[in-house]
């Protein structure tokens, strides 16, 4: 999906020359989501996986304890059109790894998003201009004066904001984030962390293969990208070893 597609450095070059236009759907997202959710209730669909309620397993997943990610906490922002897709892997993030699952266009979610954006410890997991690999970023003695840092062991020191959707949808969300930060008086772009290129190129996605047979080599779904970040974080941060494997196994 978007993270693997944009991993190519050329994507950053093109996006700088041709800025993404405003997404007209985002301006009507609140109304569209309300209508869609109401319709799903009337026909007995789960509003997360969009399966009929008798076939839904979302409740069972929410009952399972999320994996421990050490000093990393997650916030996923889903494009409303991606939210309406039953095959969206980003929805697994909150259930498996914990953190916030946010949908653009839901007022309560946007309130939480503003808090995430104002936290000095938030980083965007997305390749592009100025993005750095985790180990490079840490080797440069980057300090995270995060408001989420606690005094107890395992307190989160890094909040990763993940955008879920197609390439165009992610670019549109990225522009919205920039506008929101600007309205908060924060002119600098949100710092970015990217995955290691070699790790992405060598990965074979069973999720993408299931949707498009033979297309999984060197590509990642949103959830798989988060799991690969945890694999890199095992050597740099206090993330329990094997967490990324457990996430993909689930």
pLDDT tens digits along 121-169: 899 999 988 899 998 888 765 555 444 433 344 455 789 999 999 989 9
pLDDT value for 194: 94
Q: State what percent of residues in the chain have pLDDT above 90.
A: 45
CA distance to 28, 67, 192, per residue, from 221 (Å) = 26, 19, 18
| Selection from 190, 191, 203, 208 nearest residue 229 by Cα | 203
Q: 28: helix, coil or strand?
A: coil
With beta carbons less than 8 A apart as the criterion, state whether 238 and 230 touch: no
Q: Is this prediction's pTM over 0.85?
A: no
Which residue, 170, 228, 224, 166, is CA-closest to 197?
Answer: 228
Q: How many helices (H) and strands (E) does the chain have?
A: 14, 6
Q: How confident is the model at residue 250 (pLDDT cuts 50, 70, 90)?
A: low
Token output for 38: 């109401």
Predicted pLDDT at 214 = 81
In angstroms, what CA-CA distances link 173 with 81, 166, 186, 229?
A: 12, 10, 17, 21
- Rg of the chain over Cα atoms, rounded to whole angstroms, equals 18
The answer to whether 133 and 232 have CB atoms below 8 angstroms apart is: yes
pLDDT, tens digit, for every residue of 86-119?
A: 888 888 898 899 989 999 999 999 999 999 999 9
């Amino acid at each position: 999906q978007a993270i693997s597609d944009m991993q190519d450095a050329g994507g950053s070059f093109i996006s700088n020359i041709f800025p993404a236009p405003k997404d007209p759907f985002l301006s009507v997202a609140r109304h569209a989501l309300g209508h869609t959710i109401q319709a799903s209730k009337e026909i007995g669909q789960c509003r997360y996986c969009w399966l009929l309620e008798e076939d839904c397993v979302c409740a069972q997943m929410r009952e399972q304890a999320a994996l421990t990610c050490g000093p990393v906490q997650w916030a996923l922002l889903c494009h409303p059109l991606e939210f309406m897709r039953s095959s969206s892997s980003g929805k697994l993030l909150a259930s498996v790894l914990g953190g916030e699952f946010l949908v653009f266009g839901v007022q309560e979610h946007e309130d939480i998003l503003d808090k995430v954006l104002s936290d000095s410890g938030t980083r965007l997991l997305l390749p592009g201009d100025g993005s750095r690999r985790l180990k490079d970023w840490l080797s440069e003695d980057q300090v995270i004066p995060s408001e989420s840092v606690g005094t107890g062991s395992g307190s989160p020191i890094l909040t990763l904001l993940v955008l879920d959707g197609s390439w165009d949808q992610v670019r549109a969300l990225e522009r919205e984030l920039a506008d929101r930060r600007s309205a908060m008086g924060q002119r600098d772009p949100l710092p970015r962390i990217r995955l290691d290129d070699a790790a992405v190129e060598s990965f074979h996605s069973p999720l993408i293969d299931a949707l498009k047979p033979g297309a999984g080599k060197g590509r990642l779904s949103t959830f798989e990208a988060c799991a690969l970040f945890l694999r890199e974080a095992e050597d740099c941060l206090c993330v329990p070893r094997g967490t990324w494997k457990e996430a993909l196994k689930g």
